[in-house]
């Protein structure tokens, strides 16, 4: 009775398993708090072999567990305990332990928060104005002959780009327009360098580049004036700033963005790089064709030299050819005359053999021989055929059903005129016909019995 009550009470309660409740809680948290910005002090941080960061943020009243996975923290500088940071991510629940945690997708020093806000505001403003629209992007030339490079004269980006151009044996011109790429004076210098590059009439392409650095170091490339100058440029502009994870306003407004300076150089020279094997193949093909042609012409020259003979030698050859033709003609005439003579002889013989008198004599002889043979074989064939006929007649009389009936036997027939071979074919009251030698008798079955 107690068991029955327990089951009844539990069936009307909304009972959840622990895992079910944790799963639902995690779903609600991730839906409601999908993108949070949190400021705090790093209280602890651990980095296991997986490469993920497990850290805690705190302020003077609370503490929050956080995790930043390897694919996300690769874009950030690792903080130290005590650093003030600004992070963004989604709020979730680690179900295995029931711990609340913030899964981070961005981490920066606390001082960079204002810069990030300024970046987002300028990005939205220029986006709304259409400066990032694809319709304003200029086509990048496939084979630029003159490239303007705007970068620091002493930076790593310049060395990386020059190394790529040297490795691929770039035969065009590369003009360097040095500029500061960091600090408050950098935007004005970059704009000035851009205008100088624009003023060179035969420049095909402008590459704006610098190596990696902190968020603050790269912030000069988030300048509104520089962005508008790039948008207004008549020459196509490629932006290659920082590392792959770094993104600036210049990247959005430029005609093409490259992840790194090295990648930008590779992209610019891509058509040259791809064309080089094809040019080598065509060059080899051309060389082979020339060799084949020279070889063929040499053989033809040798053949013509062999054919080239003196006029006297050619005259002698023609005289010999005439002599051979005359001898051949003579032999042909003699052969034809012999054939005609032989054919005439055959016709004469055939005429003699087929004369009417001779043919009549042969026919008379064949008729006489046939008559004699027929007179001899006729009686013999008649006697032989008569004997065979009499033998077949006696055999037929021996196997004839009438001969059996003459010996006193009879044949019973069913109503459908079939011979009665078994009592199974006859039933009581069936009508049967008995055939005897001189007629038939109609019978009725009274009873059937099987022999033992």
Other Cβ atoms closer than 10 A to 403: 13
The mean pLDDT of 233-248, rounded to a whole number, is 87
- Give the mean model confidence (pLDDT) for residues 262-280: 83
Residue 288 lies in a domain: no
For 41, phi and psi rounded to 5 degrees?
-105, 140
Confidence of residue 6 (pLDDT cuts 50, 70, 90): very low
pLDDT of residue 141: 92
List, in sequence order, the alpha helices (H) in 178-248: 186-199, 224-232
Quote the pLDDT of residue 255: 94
The answer to whether residue 69 sits within a structural domain is: yes
pLDDT at 3: 39
Last-in-domain residue among 81, 113, 145: 113
Residue 4, pLDDT > 60, answer: no
More confident residue, 313 or 438: 438
Based on the fold, state whether residues 40 and 158 are members of the same structural domain. Answer: no
What is the predicted pLDDT for the residue at 308?
66
Dmax (CA) of the chain: 155
The Cα–Cα gap between 32 and 262 comes to 42
Q: What phi and psi, each to the nearest 5 degrees, are found at residue 246? A: -85, 135
Same domain, 139 and 239: yes
Q: What is the pLDDT of residue 352?
A: 67
Distance from the Cα of residue 421 to its chain's centroid? 79
CATH number at residue 165: 3.40.50.261
Contacts of residue 170, defined as CB under 8 A and 6 or more positions apart, other chains included, come to 269, 272
Query: What would the pLDDT profile of 206-219 be if each residue is shown by its tens digit?
Result: 999 998 877 777 88
Q: Does residue 179 form part of some domain?
A: yes
Residues 269 and 146 both lie in one domain: yes
Distance CA 225, CA 189 (A): 11
For residue 49, give the CATH number of its domain: 2.40.50.140
State the chain's mean pLDDT as an integer: 83
State which residues form the domain around 25: 18-113
Domain co-membership, 146 together with 240: yes
Contact 182, 213 (CB under 8 A): yes
Domain boundary among 83, 113, 143: 113
My answer on whether 203 and 175 are in the same domain is yes
Flag whether 432 is in a domain: yes
Rounded-to-integer distance, Cα 70 and Cα 50, Å? 8
Cα separations (Å) of 253 from 181, 184, 226, 260, 385? 17, 21, 10, 17, 124
The string of pLDDT tens digits covering residues 103-141 is 998 888 876 556 777 888 899 999 999 999 999 999 999
**pLDDT tens-place string over residues 156-187:** 899 999 999 999 888 889 999 999 998 889 99
| pLDDT tens for each residue of 320-355 | 888 888 888 888 888 888 888 888 888 777 766 666
Angle between helices 224-232 and 113-129 (to 10 degrees): 30
Which residue has tokens 């069913």? 414
Q: How confident is the model over 48-72, as a mean pLDDT? A: 91
pLDDT of residue 111: 61
Q: Tell whether 185 is covered by a domain.
A: yes
Percent of the residues in the chain that have a pLDDT greater than 90, as a whole number: 30
| Tens digit of each residue's pLDDT (9 = 90 or more) over 21-58 | 888 888 888 777 877 888 889 999 999 999 999 999 99
Nearest partner of 109 among 23, 179, 194, 42, judged by Cα? 42
Q: How many domains does the chain have?
A: 3
Instruction: Decide which of 113, 148, 176 is a domain's last residue.
Output: 113
The answer to whether residues 96 and 177 belong to one domain is no
97 and 135 in one domain?
Answer: no
Does the residue 317 lie in any domain? no
Strands (E) located in 110-235: 146-151, 173-178, 205-210
Q: Where are the alpha helices (DSSP H) in 186-269?
A: 186-199, 224-232, 249-253, 261-268
Instruction: Kindly state whether residues 145 and 254 are assigned to the same domain.
Output: yes
State whether 205 and 238 are in the same domain: yes
Is 286 contained in some domain?
A: no
- Enclosing H/E stretch for 45: strand 36-46
Is position 159 within any domain? yes
HSE-CB for 179 with a 13 A CA cutoff: 31
- Look at residue 80 and give its three-state secondary structure: coil
Do residue 76 and residue 153 come from a single domain? no
pLDDT band at 1 (very low <50, low <70, confident <90, very high): very low
């Amino acid at each position: 009775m107690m068991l029955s009550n327990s089951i009844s009470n539990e069936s009307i309660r909304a009972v959840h398993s622990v895992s079910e409740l944790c799963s639902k809680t995690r779903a609600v948290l991730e839906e409601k708090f999908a993108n949070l910005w949190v400021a705090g002090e790093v209280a602890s941080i651990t980095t296991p072999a997986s490469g993920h960061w497990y850290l805690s943020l705190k302020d003077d009243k609370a503490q929050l567990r956080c995790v930043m996975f390897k694919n996300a923290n690769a874009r950030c500088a690792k903080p130290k305990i005590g650093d003030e940071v600004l992070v963004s991510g989604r709020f979730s629940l680690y179900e295995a332990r029931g711990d609340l945690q913030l899964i981070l997708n961005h981490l920066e020093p606390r001082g960079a928060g204002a810069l990030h806000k300024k970046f987002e505001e300028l990005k939205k403003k220029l986006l709304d104005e259409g400066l990032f629209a694809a319709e304003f992007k200029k086509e990048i030339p496939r084979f630029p002959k003159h490239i303007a490079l705007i970068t620091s004269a002493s930076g790593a980006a310049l060395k990386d780009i020059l190394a790529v151009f040297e490795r691929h044996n770039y035969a065009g011109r590369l003009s360097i327009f040095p500029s500061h790429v960091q600090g408050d004076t950098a935007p004005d210098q970059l704009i000035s360098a851009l205008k100088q590059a624009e003023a060179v009439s035969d420049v095909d392409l402008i590459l704006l580049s610098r190596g990696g650095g902190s968020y603050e170091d790269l912030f000069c490339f988030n300048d509104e004036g520089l962005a508008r100058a790039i948008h207004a440029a008549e020459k196509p502009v490629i932006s290659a700033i920082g590392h792959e994870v770094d993104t600036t306003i210049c990247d959005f407004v430029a005609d093409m963005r490259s992840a790194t300076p090295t990648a930008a150089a590779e992209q610019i020279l891509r058509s040259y790089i791809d064309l080089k094997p094809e040019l080598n193949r065509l060059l080899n093909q051309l060389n082979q064709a020339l060799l084949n042609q020279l070889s063929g012409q040499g053989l033809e020259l040798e053949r013509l030299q062999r054919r080239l003979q003196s006029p006297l030698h050619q005259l002698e050859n023609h005289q010999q050819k005439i002599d051979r033709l005359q001898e051949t003609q003579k032999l042909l005439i003699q052969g034809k005359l012999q054939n005609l003579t032989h054919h005439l002889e055959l016709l004469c013989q055939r005429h003699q053999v087929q004369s009417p008198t001779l043919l009549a004599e042969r026919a008379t002889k064949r008729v006489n021989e046939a008559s004699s043979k027929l007179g001899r074989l006729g009686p013999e064939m008649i006697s032989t055929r008569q004997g065979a006929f009499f033998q077949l007649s006696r055999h037929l009389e021996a196997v004839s059903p009438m001969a059996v009936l003459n010996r006193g036997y009879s044949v019973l027939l069913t109503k459908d005129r079939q011979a009665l071979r078994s009592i199974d074919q006859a039933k009581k009251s069936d009508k049967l016909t008995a055939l005897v030698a001189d007629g038939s008798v109609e019978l009725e079955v009274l009873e059937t019995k099987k022999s033992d």
